Structure 1
Amino acid sequence: MNDPQTFEIFLVTVPGLEQLLCDEALERGFAGAVAVPGGVTFQGGWPDVWRANLVLRGATRVLARIGGFLAFHLAQLDKRSRKFPFGELLRTDVPLRVHVTTKASKIYHAGAATQRIEKALTDTHGMTLDPEAELILKVRIDDNNVLFSLDTSGESLHKRGHKEAVGKAPMRETLAYLMLRQAGYTGTEPVVDPMSGSGTFPIEAAEVAAGLLPGRTRSFAFQHLANYDAAAFDAMKSVPTKQPPAQFYGSDRDAGAVRMAQANAERAGVDAFTHFANHAAGELTPPDGPAGLVIVNPPYGARIGNKQLLYPLYGTLGKTLLTRFKGWRVALVTSEPALAKATGLPWKPQGPAIAHGGMKVWLWQTPPLR
């Protein structure tokens, strides 16, 4: 196993937004973080694993690279797996499951490799296996190098633990945060979402402004490892919160969505500075006070079917923003560039594609409207 004091930690994120997560990790004090395809990597210890799960808003999950070895055939994989010190981290009373991938290796059959590793875990190490277990041992066999990683998060980190109600096409909290960040949001300005659904953008923005930790109310897979220190982790949760310098607004033409958003805001503890209203996007007016950010995830073709029906909606939204929201920046999520252009808004050059719900989307942005 790796030096128990330091090992590679891998933060999984949405493809296309790795650098945004890397910037967040560096801001949060994870020194040496580097963006790589699919995520961010850095060297750290177990307290860094716990803290990454607790404080990072853009990470989907946190993997701990716990070590590995070379193996050129299944018998060698079996023998070396039996000698690997799994007992230093894994508890025999906590079930786990094994997930194996192979690439460019003499061991090319992932199913056979899985069987050998599972047998070593049960026969030699006394572990309990369960195909539904939250704790996952990920095994990557690449060019005959076997690398063991533990998924320390459990459920995806977009599940903050306090959002129960979701709409038909929910925006994941992790992606919402990274898009807010991409749009230049730092927690000091008001945010308006005119098609807020279950309230993800306003609630996420409010949590950032209040200094609330994203993982404050949920549990994690690492809490079932042999080296987990509950007192040390509880101490990490003791961080001061603050009164946000701005307010956060959402609206939706669906009254049920507005009720969901209000309930989610209450559970998140941000209902004192989030406001949700029931009306169409064309009725939107700016709140009193300074300009800020309008961010919206409207319907688009892949989610609706006939995108021709959406052009009037986008046109109305654009006209409303151009007429009433002078000085505000706009960020809009869509899979259809033509729909974005139908708003008539002064978009900056199209940015990189973002993977979302099995499709590619873009975050279109404007400078402050004039």
Structure 2
Amino acid sequence: MSAAHDFEIFLVTAPGLEAALCAEARERHFREPKVVKGGVTVQGGWPEVWRANLELRGASRVLARIAEFRAMHVAQLDKRSHKVAWGEVLRADVPFSVEAACKASRIYHEGAAAQRITKAIQDTVGAPVSKDAEVVVKARIDDDLCTISIDTSGESLHKRGHKQAVAKAPMRENLAALFLRQCGFDGSEPVVDPMCGSGTFVIEAAEIAAGLKPGRSRRFAFEQLATFDSPAWSRLRGNPEKREPSVRFFGSDRDAGAVAMSRANAERAGVAALTVFKQQAISDLTPPDGPGLVIVNPPYGTRIGDRKQLNALYRALGQTLLARFSGWRVGVITNEVPLAEATGLPFAPPGEPVSHGGLRVRLFLTPPLG
């Protein structure tokens, strides 16, 4: 499989956010983006794999689908795995591991399936096996169809590489980026997060406005593959071109530690000059020059906090925004409709549920407040 050869690339995201990721992939000029369960497929070669890891904010990982065949039993899996051109993708000197998932198939033993594919790779390439390997081969056997993919990302893509400090129950960066997109944010308006935690929404918004690539500060598993072209990758990364947006991005939190954390994270991300963080209660919140977007991921009932206190918190948030943020849109991420309703804000019907930290949360979004 040469760098010029096109194949299917699977962009993984949280179920419920596939359409938002598809819109991002289309905007970034990836070819033939299609929504599928748990992500988006696009067509391309290895340069597109590298670019997806570097540029897409909403993906959690990028899988290169390198082979597909039918396998009714393990002997057939063994035989057909040996015919995959592993040497075109994997290097003999780089450790690998294999993960298998079986669904509605005659091959149902995932451990046995992974073992056969591991042996085929060792027989073909001779690479060492390690359970901690950065290069992971993923086999999915669904209705007797075996799809072989390489996880080209390594660590989940929400780990941008410049955020060390995180708050309790943090919002993952890739989810934050897609929620911002669902709110209609395109980088041209101010954003306010009055419960900013470690600053994820504010920093993502500033990076989007500045045109910074989300993967600019980290390494990827594809750098360990036989298909990797270091000079081409250097050209693709290029020199970071940072736009100077005319708007600023604001976070506040009643916890001084969260504010310090947010400032440190913004500094590492290179957006300290575009962001303002301050310690304050919801009741002290005032709008900057706007209008723009208020986006907030408050505590949930099953996450942090007591139910009565939560109702009071959501009510105070809604009252403050209704009184002071005329013309602003508000996005609230929460797991319970009654909590959203406690704000008294005029939400449109919520979006699809999204898995966040094991909970099913939804984005509740208002039109511009009157």
For normalisation by structure 1, the TM-score amounts to 0.97
Q: Give 2:150's aligned residue.
A: 150
Cα 1:172–1:320 change in 2 (3 A) is: same
Measured after TM superposition, the shift of residue 98 of structure 1 is 0.3
Q: Give the match for residue 194 of structure 1.
A: 194
Distance 1:93 1:281 in 2: 55
- Residue in 1 that maps onto 2:333: 333
Question: CA separation in 2, counterparts of 1:336 and 1:307?
Answer: 11
Distance 1:167 1:211 in 2: 26
Q: What pairs with 1:106-185 in structure 2 (closer than 5 Å)?
A: 106-185=106-185
Q: Which one-letter code corresponds to 2:248 in the other structure? A: Q
Q: Which position in structure 2 is the counterpart of 1:44?
A: 44
Q: What per-residue deviation string (whole Å, max 9, x for no partner) do you get for residues 82-117 of structure 1?
A: 232101110111111100111232222111111112
Are positions 1:100 and 2:100 aligned together? yes
Letter in 2 for 1:31: R
Aligned length: 369
Distance in 2 (CA, whole Å) between partners of 1:323 and 1:37 is 41
8 A Cα contact 2:86 2:124, kept in partner: no
* 2:317 paired residue number: 317
Equivalent position of 2:241 in the other structure? 240
Show the counterpart of 2:352.
Answer: 352
For the Cα contact (< 8 Å) 1:154–1:220, is it kept in 2?
A: yes
Equivalent runs, 1:156-305 vs 2, <5 Å: 156-238=156-238, 239-287=240-288, 289-304=289-304
Give the conservation status (yes or no) of the 8 Å contact 2:3–2:227.
Answer: no
1:62 aligned residue: 62
Q: Tell me, yes or no, if the aligned pair for 1:252 and 1:277 is still in contact at 8 Å.
A: yes
Runs of 4+ in 1 over 3 A off after TM superposition: 1-4
- Cα distance in 1 for residues equivalent to 2:194 and 2:3: 50
1:322 aligned partner, one-letter code: L
Work out whether residues 195 and 298 of structure 2, in 8 Å CA contact, stay in contact via their aligned partners in 1: yes
How far apart are the structure 2 equivalents of 1:258 and 1:284?
15
Please say if residues 283 and 320 of structure 2, whose CA atoms lie closer than 8 Å, have aligned partners that are also in contact: yes
Aligned-residue RMSD, C-alpha: 1.4
Deviation at 1:31, TM superposition (A): 2.0
Whether contact under 8 Å (2:74, 2:107) holds in the other structure is yes
Do 2:11 and 2:59's aligned partners in 1 also have CA atoms closer than 8 Å?
yes
Give the structure 2 partner of residue 16 of structure 1.
16
SS of residue matched to 1:175: helix
Q: Give, in angstroms, the shift of residue 127 of structure 1.
A: 1.5
Distance across 1 between alignment mates of 2:364 and 2:112:
46
* Cα distance, 1:145 vs structure 2: 2.1
1:302 deviation in Å?
1.0
1:214 aligned counterpart, secondary structure: coil
What does residue 88 of structure 1 align with? 88
**Structure 1 residue 305, shift from structure 2 partner:** 5.1
Q: Secondary structure at the match of 1:167?
A: coil
In 2, are the aligned partners of 1:9 and 1:42 still within 8 Å (CA)? Answer: yes
Distance, in Å, in 1 between the alignment partners of 2:3 and 2:279 is 55
Partner secondary structure for residue 300 of structure 1: coil
How many angstroms does 1:4 deviate by?
5.5
Cα distance in 2 for partners of 1:356, 1:162 equals: 21
Deviation at 1:243, TM superposition (A): 0.1
Deviation at 1:39, TM superposition (A): 0.4
- Give the structure 1 partner of residue 74 of structure 2: 74
In the aligned structure 1, how far is the partner of 2:124 from the partner of 2:241?
46
Please give the secondary structure, in 2, of the residue aligned with 1:301: coil
Q: Give % identity.
A: 61
Per the alignment, residue 369 of structure 1 pairs with: 369
Contact 1:2–1:66, Cα closer than 8 Å, also in 2:
no
178-187 or 78-87: which moved more?
78-87
Alpha carbons 1:82, 1:125 under 8 Å: kept: no
Seen in structure 2, the aligned counterparts of structure 1 residues 71 and 98 have a Cα distance that, compared at 3 Å, is: same
Question: Following TM superposition, by how much is the alpha carbon of 1:24 offset from its aligned partner in structure 2, in angstroms?
Answer: 0.3
Separation in 2, partners of 1:366, 1:163: 30
Structure 1 distance, partners of 2:17, 2:251, is: 25
Does the CA contact (< 8 Å) of 2:3 and 2:45 recur in 1? no
Structure 2: unaligned runs, 5 residues or longer = none
Q: Secondary structure at the match of 1:10?
A: strand
Contact 1:2 / 1:67 at 8 angstroms: preserved in 2?
no
- Work out whether residues 252 and 280 of structure 1, in 8 Å CA contact, stay in contact via their aligned partners in 2: yes
CA distance in 2, matches of 1:60, 1:166: 18
SS of 1:159 mapped into structure 2: coil
